[in-house]
Structure 1
Amino acid sequence: MISHPEKPKARRPRVAVASLMQETNTFSPIPTTVAVFEEYYIHRGDAMRDGYGAARVEVPGVFAGLTAAEIDVVPLIASYAAAAGPITRPAFEELVSEMEARLRDAGPVDGLILVLHGALVVEDQPDGDGEVVARMRAILPDGMPIGVSLDLHAHITPLMLQPDTFHVGYQEYPHVDMYESGERVAGLMARTLAGQCRPVMALAKCNVLVPAVCGRTTDGPLAHVARAARKMEGEGSILHASIFPVQPWIDVPDLGFAALVCADGDRAAAQAFADALAARVMEIRHKFTLDSVPLDHAIEVAHTNDGMTLVSDSGDAPTGGAAADNVAVLRALLDAGADKQPRLSLLTLCDPVAAQIAHGVGVGAVIEVSLGHAFSINDGAPVSTSARVLSVSDGRYVMHDPGAQGLPMDMGRTAVLGIGQLRVVVRTRPSMEWDTGIYLSQGLDPSTAALVFVKSPSHFRVSFGPLAARILVADTPGPTCADVRKLQYTRVTRPLFPLDDF
């Protein structure tokens, strides 16, 4: 009997995965350093596999999608920092150089997936994400695919559109499909490696800033554009259509709405679809109305009506890059006598010193404290007041509402201060305010309050919205203010709506 040697088993595809995420705000008073990333996370190598716990965000979605397609995952490095000012060049170099070194040392790979935000600004480079993509492209052989996951508020540039590189953006705002976006980019990578498609990209832009408070895909004018993108995909002629109403609080050239369409080998078709989406936004630009109200009006509505009034303090939103330390809301509440109303008003504030004082004196103590503007020292004066320390905690909780459920949050030392009928959650870090856990974890039930303020332009509607009798957007100051005409842009390409009316 003649024996035949067994054929060697084919090597499973290997795809490297890396992430560098920050949504920069060039008007923010907080510079971004490596220490800011370390406050949140830097997962290296295999620590990426379980470093996210049960969080439904992009990287775990990428891992799940690749694993389901029987592709081996090669984790490189994943780093995240909350929105703040531009990242310093030394910090950017440290993180990107490590990503480059890990990619070079990864052994043979068949592709790379980058999980980026898309609005990362370096102090000397307005397009940090584009530089990341270009530097990774330079390492890999021509023809090897790179897949890029992007936030819906990415600032899309030609530098991002490197050869053999495809992009997939979130489909939803409020952001409830981060995990699914990771799965989508992994699925498209799997199809590409299997020879089932050949992704090509086309970009179309228009000089329109869509205000974050009215740029939802669930309702309002942008929802019609989002539905048009999904219809294009459903017709089967393109692989993916992404719309990017852009992070409006970055002062960089060529800022504006972008449509990015991925087609299977047909770049002309992709360009036609992208042009159609951008043209639709240009046509409806005047429909993006703010509908914001003065603070004193919001407070009056809350205390003269039944049910809970939910108010967006958009100007001080930490997920957009604000320091979350502005006391405009607290001052307005005190001026309106909300501290003497029969029902509670809830608000938050980032003030490390006040949080430390509260921890030092303990629960039950009454303190004289100066609150606010711990970081934005040039944007207002603190409020001096007497407050009772109602609770103290380490500020840790796990998000459970739709969006980033399962993501651990760490507000740093946190205290609840009582000023009459006001409850102020004073924390050390300006963490995101997407989840009701920011109050529930501190023993406060927003559903029973008369008035609840949330420092968020839109995402808060998913979590807090079902508890509210009404939702208002307050005209509050700060680097994430709803009305971008109040900011001092110097580098954007003009004309730009609504800074310029046309």
Structure 2
Amino acid sequence: MAEHWRIAIGQLSQETNHFNPVPTTEADFAASGILRGDAVLHGWGEARREVPGFLEVLRAAGHEAVPTLAAWCPAAGGPVSRAAFEALLGGLLDRLRAAGPVDGVLLALHGAMMLEDSDDAESEIIARVRAELPPGTPVGVSLDLHGHVTPAMLQPDVFFVAYREYPHIDMQETGERVARLMLDRLAGRRRPVMALAKRPMVVSPVGARTPDPPLSDLVALARAAEAAGEALHVGLFPVQPWLDVPDLGFAVLVTADGDAGRAQAVADRIAEAAWAMRNRFGHGLIPLEEAIRIGLAGPGTTVIGDGGDAPTGGSPADNPSVLRALLAAGADRHDRPILLTMSDPQAAAEAHAAGIGACRGFRLGHAHTPGEPVVAEAEVVTLHDGRFALRDGGATGSVIDHGPSAVLRIGALRIALRSAPGNEWDTNVYRSLGLEPSEAAAVFVKSPAHFRVAYGPLAARVVAADTPGPCAGNTARVPWTRVTRPLWPLDDV
């Protein structure tokens, strides 16, 4: 009779942006729905994420998934408060203790969670989970490829598997890979060991997409090492660039079968290849004013990335620079709609209070960040509760809650106004509010790269604008102060 294993399941993931002045609290996790106990097994709906990937593999193999707690933030944000971290990790650990003996633990982490008092939340999560387990109990961890991998994360009996894709279209598949390796480890078919290599370079996410050179060249090296049997999994970590921490850099994390020396050799080889091609990484950004000119002049729909204000990179999404530039260019007089978004809870509340059809003055933008809002007369044309499911590639099926939302019309401009920042990868950001991107002259999306999956098929052209904000894709705009120097491209190394 085959062995029956009990494997605990948990998630605690958030991506930090040190240049977002708004701290992340437990309420930010709760906005996306914290799952506890049996809800971890059944509360995902149609979401294609890491934990559903864990569950799919365990169920298919006939093993028991032991639920603890799953908490995540759909948008990145400021450092997590210690109180929120203790409440959530404490809840996960309480359920792990109450579960009784388990044969292994599967965790969905991000890799770039920072706390108000710590630069390495993931190593603390892993250490505190391991402290609840008998020595030798394996822990399998999924990571986002924008994680900041530290040596402290590489602890005994712990293995990691990273997303392979950016844009992130393989979240569930990553969970499945982790779970399959856990079953191989428990059956004695594999003995996963880890090795890490880093280089002092930071690349813009705008120019570091896995399907495109130069990152695709490194992906090919990683897959070749796996195909040759040198590694079970090779994780490339171009890193979340909006962290202000020592030892920030490009990481290669290798999982090998029992041979740590071989794992280190693979990690070193691919990290050195990344370093050698550092000058090939660019951002491809164009000035905002030029992006607007292209959008107003071209036939079809121009999709414009507003990556500097991307909530999935850690911005409050309240920067009105795009709106201000559109008004200055006279885009409100265009003969076709132009779509943009903004997070401003006060303005959203005022729109709901005024009602559909109301025309009034609004102060739009800088609800959370310092700066001067745009004052404009607008008509309220749509009101919405802000809840919708992602429909396009990525975390498909995940439910997003932007809070009370509205569409404001300023001539040709249509502002998708919401109360809270959230995922903008998806066309349902607009379609849920009755706006059709394919009918617009220009569509602005607060995302550095992932938006290309959803919006690319409907776009006549896609451009990325050099916009300001906590997620500036132009690394010359990033105000690092704590990073270890020298660091490319800050330094000529």
Q: TM-score, normalised by structure 1?
A: 0.97
Supply the distance in 2 between the matched residues of 1:240 and 1:83 (Cα, whole angstroms).
26
Report the equivalent of 1:228: 221
Which residue identity is paired with 2:355? G
Counterpart of 2:11?
A: 19
The 2-side partners of 1:497 and 1:141 are apart by: 42
Distance 2:247 2:105 in 1: 27
Instruction: Note the C-alpha offset of 1:285.
Output: 0.6
- Check the 8 A contact 2:32/2:399 in 1, yes or no: no
* Identity score, percent: 54
Deviations 1:262-319 (A, max 9, x none): 1110011110111111111101111111121111111111111111111110100000
SS at match of 1:139: coil
Which residue of the partner structure matches residue 366 of structure 1?
359
* Structure 2 Cα separation of the partners of residues 470 and 284 of structure 1: 28
In the alignment, what sits opposite 1:140? 133
Among 395, 399, 405, the residue aligned to 1:404: 395
Runs (5+) with no aligned partner, structure 2: none
CA distance in 2, matches of 1:467, 1:431: 22
The equivalences for 1:64-143 within 5 A come to 64-81=56-73, 82-143=75-136
For 1:485 and 1:59, the matched residues in 2 are separated by 37
Note the aligned Cα RMSD (angstroms).
1.0
Q: Is the 8 A contact 2:10 2:68 kept in 1?
A: yes
Work out the CA distance in 2 between the residues paired with 1:295 and 1:343.
Answer: 19
Q: Contact between 1:134 and 1:159, CA under 8 Å: does it hold in 2?
A: no
> Corresponding residue for 1:456?
447
User: Among 436, 447, 453, which residue is 2:427 paired with?
Assistant: 436
Deviates more, 1:68-77 or 1:197-206: 68-77
What CA deviation, in whole Å up to 9, does each residue of 1:164-191 have, x standing for no partner?
1100000000000000000000000000
Per the TM alignment, residue 501 of structure 1 is displaced from its structure 2 partner at its CA by 2.1
- Alignment partner, residue 475 of structure 1: 466
Q: How many angstroms does 1:220 deviate by?
A: 2.2
Q: Write out the 4+ residue segments of structure 1 that deviate beyond 4 Å after TM superposition.
A: none
| 1:283 equivalent in alignment to 2:268 | no
How far apart are residue 10 of structure 1 and its match? 7.2
State how 1:294-333 maps to structure 2 within 5 Å: 294-333=287-326
Which residue matches 1:4?
none
Q: One-letter code of the match for 1:440? A: R
Q: Distance in 1 between matches of 2:431 and 2:87?
A: 38
After superposition, where does 1:235-314 map in structure 2 within 5 Å? 235-314=228-307
Aligned-partner Cα distance in 2 for 1:21–1:299: 36
Instruction: Give the secondary structure class of the aligned counterpart of 1:464.
Output: helix
Per-residue CA distance 1:178-224 (angstroms, 9 max, x = gap): 00000000000000001101000000000111211011001121111
Counterpart-to-counterpart distance in 1, 2:486 and 2:94: 41
Determine helix, strand or coil for the equivalent of 1:479. Answer: coil
Q: Give, as a single letter, the amino acid of the residue that structure 2 aligns with 1:385.
A: A
Aligned to 1:197: 190
TM-aligned CA deviation for residue 11 of structure 1: 5.9
Tell me the amino acid that sits aligned with residue 496 of structure 1: L
The superposition leaves residues 397-433 of structure 1 with CA deviations (integer Å, 9 ceiling, x where unpaired) of 1111011111111111110000000000000110110
Q: Which whole-Å CA distance do the structure 2 matches of 1:407 and 1:101 have between them?
A: 26
Matched, 1:51 2:43: yes
Larger radius of gyration: 1
**How far has the Cα of 1:237 moved from its partner?**
2.7
Could you tell me which residue of structure 2 aligns to residue 375 of structure 1?
368
Residue number among 400, 421, 434 corresponding to 2:412 in the alignment: 421
Mapped to 2, the partners of 1:77 and 1:305 lie a distance apart of 49
Distance 1:438 1:373 in 2: 20
Residue 171 of structure 2 corresponds to 178
Once the two structures are TM-superposed, the CA of residue 484 in structure 1 deviates from its matched residue by: 2.2
- Map Cα deviations across residues 452-476 of structure 1 (whole Å, 9 max, x no partner): 1000000000000111111111110
